Amino acid sequence: MSVYKRGDVYWYSFIFNGVRVQRSTKVSNKNDARDIERGAWTQLARGEVGLEEPKKDLTIGDLLDRLVENYKLRGKSDPKNDSHIARAREGFGKRRAKDLTSEDVNNYIAKRLAKKHANATINRTLQFVGQAYRLAEMPAPKIQRLSEKDNARKGFFSDAEFRALLPHLPANLQDYTLFAYLSGWRKSEIASLTWNDIEEDIVRLRSENAKNGEARSIVLAGELSELIERRKKSRAVKQKGGGVVMAQWVFHRKGKQVGEFRRSWKTACKNSKVTRLFHDLRRTAVRNFIRSGVGEKVSMSISGHRTRSIFDRYNIVNEGELRDAMKKVEQYHVAEQKRVVSIGQAAQ
């Protein structure tokens, strides 16, 4: 047992059942401090008080673990979220949550920018860090948000490009990709579809599987009808033991839900010489809705866009359309010049 001074007050320290106890007496008189120390020891020995369990310093990795569990409970887990959380864990996981500063966050941003990572990608990763702090109800450092102005991607498929790429995908991804091209639905939304979600000629997306949390549906017609008929014929999955089971997923890989397929997509793009993102299918579908005369309200209800601003980002005029427009303007000018010449000649 010992009493020692720290600042203007005395502290006491002793070992009890293998645990080192250090506490402030909150008094500046040494004799009073010794009395307080002896009293504390006596109370512990009699079992009148107990030692508090030392509080664990949570790491940011611990907070992210809680966030992952929360996402699982809410049915919001998907490969894209997992990827961003993994990046957050790589950058901050071992840090004590209470020690993270805005300067640390800014240094992380600087390193990511130096590696040419997109502003939007960095924002998404830091967004999960912020969510982890809020879920744990812990004060978080200020997290700078990078500008995403002019970040809208402008990749679109022409129909010829899409048809050229499709055969280069594995057979179990071709209908999945065609559904994305025709519907504008997201990867995770398409992967979530089960046969319980199809009723006669309607495919229904449940709210818990929709990114915006709102259920929606699409009516089967044309290629979509043919696609679903093919999927029905592909339900039977042969087992190793010789048996057959019926897949619950509309789109599956040997009976299992479609997961990540970045490598297959990259290979298909390389072999077809059509370099596009899978998300370009969503942009293309939205633009095709508009170009074919489908009203904006109906188009948004199919694709699942909640805000007009994001929807408008996909309804972009590409360079090919601008080129066609200028050709039409040029043709107009040529026609006008000929008309003027014709009028002049007639006047003579």
Q: What is the pLDDT of residue 169?
A: 97
Arithmetic mean of pLDDT over the chain: 85
Please tell me the predicted confidence (pLDDT) of residue 52.
57
Q: Is the pLDDT of residue 48 over 90?
A: no
Write down the pLDDT at residue 164: 96
pLDDT digits 0-9 by tens, 65-113 = 999 988 888 777 777 788 889 999 999 999 999 999 999 999 999 999 9
| Predicted pLDDT of residue 77 | 73
Q: Band the pLDDT of 189: cuts 50, 70, 90.
A: very high
H or E segment to which residue 13 belongs: strand 9-16
Q: Report percent pLDDT > 90 for the chain.
A: 46
Q: Looking at the structure, do residues 185 and 298 belong to the same domain, yes or no?
A: yes
Q: Are residues 115 and 194 in the same domain?
A: no
- Answer yes or no: do 173 and 294 share one domain: yes
pLDDT digits (tens, 9 = 90+) for 240-270: 888 899 999 999 999 999 999 999 999 999 9
* Predicted pLDDT of residue 87: 92
One domain for residues 230 and 303: yes
Q: Is 210 exposed, middle or buried, given 0-12, 13-18 or 19+ CB atoms closer than 10 A? A: middle
pLDDT of residue 241: 81
Q: Are 1 and 25 in contact (CB under 8 A)?
A: no
Across the range 328-341, mean pLDDT stands at 73
Round to the nearest angstrom and report the end-to-end CA distance of the chain.
122
Domain identity same for 182 and 112: no
Identify whether residues 173 and 293 lie together within a single domain: yes
Q: How far apart are CA 32 and CA 103, in angstroms?
A: 45
Give DSSP secondary structure letters for 226-273. Answer: HHHHHHHHT-EEE-TTS-EEE-SBSSEETTEEP---HHHHHHHHHHHT
Decide if 296 contacts 309 (C-beta within 8 A): no
Pairwise pLDDT comparison (117 vs 50), residue with the higher score:
117
**Longest CA–CA separation in the chain, Å:** 125
Which residues constitute the domain of residue 250? Answer: 161-314
d(CA 58, CA 138): 10
For residue range 293-324, list pLDDT tens digits in order. Answer: 887 788 888 888 777 666 666 655 555 555 66
Does 152 score more than 60 pLDDT? no
Both 15 and 114 in one domain: the answer is no
Domain count, the chain: 3
Rounded Cα gap, residues 131 and 67, in angstroms: 8
With residue 219 as reference, give the H or E element that holds it: strand 216-219
**Residue 337 covered by a domain:** no
Say yes or no: 9 and 122 in one domain: no
Same domain, 223 and 270: yes
Q: Are 83 and 188 in contact (CB under 8 A)?
A: no
Residue 320 within any structural domain of the chain: no
Beta-ladder partners of 16: 19
Per-residue pLDDT, 55: 57
Give 81 or 174, the one with higher predicted confidence. Answer: 174
Same-domain check for residues 206 and 272: yes
- Tell me: do 310 and 172 sit in the same domain: yes
CATH at 264: 1.10.443.10
Query: How, if at all, do strands 19-24 and 198-199 pair?
Result: unpaired
Split at pLDDT 50, 70, 90, the class of 13 is: confident
Give a yes or no: residue 343 inside a domain. Answer: no
Task: Please say if the pLDDT value at position 151 is more than 60.
Answer: no
- Domain boundary among the residues 135, 169, 202 is at 135
Is position 236 within any domain?
A: yes
- 182 and 121 in a single domain? The answer is no
Reported as a pLDDT band with limits 50, 70 and 90, residue 154 is: low
330 in any annotated domain:
no
